[in-house]
Chain A
Amino acid sequence: MSFPWAKQYEPTNGLTKFLDEKLPVPRLVYNAVGAGYPVPRNLSYFWNFGVLAGFFLMLQIVTGVVLAMHYAANASVAFATTEHIMRDINWGWLMRYAHANGASFFFIVVYIHIFRGFFYSSYKAPREMIWLLGVVIFLLMMATAFMGYVLPWGQMSFWGAKVITGLFGAIPLVGEPIQVWLLGGFAPDNAALNRFFSLHFLLPFVIMGVVIMHIWALHIPGSSNPTGVEVKSESDTVPFHPYYTAKDGFGLGVILLLFFAMVFFLPNYLGHPDNYIEANPLSTPAHIVPEWYFWPFYAILRAFTFDFILPAKLWGVLGMFAAILMWFFLPWLDKSPVRSGHYRPLFRKFFWFGLIPAMAVLFYCGGAPAEEPFVMLSQIATAYYFLHFLVIIPIVSQVEKPEPLPYSITEAVLGSDKKAVLGENTEPAV
């Protein structure tokens, strides 16, 4: 679907006419990210991050395919082939650093994308399906990133794999058989490394498939916007190309500056020194920490320390998974008639002074050693995190009185909308 004023693709020469008849890929591109896709004219830079996430997915696939040409998924040589890539392969160091830091940037970009969705309630009708697919992408990303971190077969790779698969051991009765089945052994070894490599190679393509559905679903209602007011007329929109291709191009340049600064000057800053020690099943690192993008969820896992009816370990595992899975229900928990946080005074306060500080604390504590005061801080933040999504949002969205919305996007941008004065359904704006 698209808006009735969307520009129509017109093949101009013989080749595009032929293609349009036989395999209308140019038309698809034109309508998806070209001039044929009308987009609200008032998007802020927060709306750049979807395209940026797509860019980093492609970057990870390209560098990942290159690395797979030189890597060997065998516990006896995996660490050595990684060093071989770093030392002997032409530009191998660049490929590996770009891939490792690319994963981090993918997560940075996706976290900003998700928090954009939280603040502007982008998950609300009619965009529930986009949101559900997005949560699926995020889960797949986490699985892919976790398995990718195992591949260099350093100390953190090994012990990360051991700890995370050990979580399944918390499930009553079937836990331990599942853990042994997942690893294909009693501890991470060749079998686990090989299947992780296979899945790490496969899952990005699954992600790409879900991303295509995510974009497809987006094109049915069209993009949301900072006012949360739906598009009413042509004057509310601009064609994606050239307006947003240009804006995304600039955004990509900025993020690439940061990315290359990390890759070339601080390539190991986001990594852990212990992963440059070859995996040793007989010696545990002083602090086992996952990569930074798992820290909030790792903090939630460790926040449950008291056996309340169920064992604390099981609470931790349930809490960690629930922390993400509950996002699936968000579209139906938030009953507010208004989307944008800009017009929801109470919701906005909870977002800025509740959720954001709680996430900051969880991020910090997840990377810190399991000592006081970090455990106690993460316990409070964990409690708030669950209250925010499952209690505060349903109640606040019911009770708060939203601020008055602009009549239309045009009015929000220009200060007035002729149709607002003339009444709806008059002549479309020029």
Chain B
Amino acid sequence: MKISFPHMGYSYIALKWLVENLGHECIVPPEPSKRTLDLGVRHAPEFACIPYKILMGTYLEVAEMGAELILSSGGRGPCRAGYYWVMHRYLLEELGLDVKLIAFEPPLNDLKGFFKTIHWLRKTGGRSVKEVLNALEVTWEKIKALDDLELCSHETRPYEVNRGDTTRALWKGLDMVDQANTLAELAEARHEGLRLLESVPRDNSRNPLKIGIIGEIYVVLEPAANHYIQIMLGEMGVHTDRSIYLSAYTRNNTIVNLEGDIKAMARPYLNADTIGGHGVNSVAETVLYAKHGFDGVVQLAPFACIPEIVAKGILPTISQEYGIPVLTIFIDEQTGKAGVQTRLEAFVDLLQRRRENKAKSERLAI
């Protein structure tokens, strides 16, 4: 069977390997482009958020490329993303396309359905249980390796001497992870990739600004959706820390994971256990970044994203109390790269000025 899935950051490298090792052919989803978005916008409801539109476009593109089955994710709400697959299925039916769409509901809510789908994929691919378990393990390790490399690239980029070196090294590393087929090969690829990134010529005398990136998972993880914001900021000489990684809950080297109960952080401002998506996280993470001495926070969200709008309504209070500037960027199909860049440059200028003023007043005090 020809199987495809949504494009989200670099995860396609790991998922491609998984699909192939379940005994199926993989149609690798193309990186979301202007065409993807145009296709999506044409068929999606006007006020659906941008991830919905990009996914819609991606599905139409992979259907053109011959995909017979699309694997997607479900959800338990109240974020709209959990209902995407139902609407996507309706729309694919309306367009008369011969492509099947199956969603994995969260295993915590629907363990049986989750295993049923995996089992069905295994049988149609003709693999043994042992092979599948091994494939799942390698895939997970791949996701972790991809995240490790990306994390390292964001730490390196603000120090690079020649602009673009880090991104080139990252791609070499990603290719190596892509080629790896066993756990041993993967460990080597990861090691080699990190070494490549570490050997990028650095200017360690710089003292980069630190910006935390928070917001809705899809636009935070998919560089093509957020106009490569982290690379853009990195090349402006800014150190960025992102709150979301696919492998996040297993790692202890990101700021967000250093703290225990993230919801407790949000409680003084937003007294709800969840408002869907990453709404509560966005509130809590702004507090966290402020406490860890970051210079500013950028909130990324799709236009009309419900949880992030609630968060946006609350962030000004935190911004005032902790004295940390927050820039909210709502992304839709009209958002242009130049617009994002101009706003980021202005924001970075503002942060730079704040830092200089702070240093000045501290000197005067002595």
Q: Do A and B bind each other?
A: no
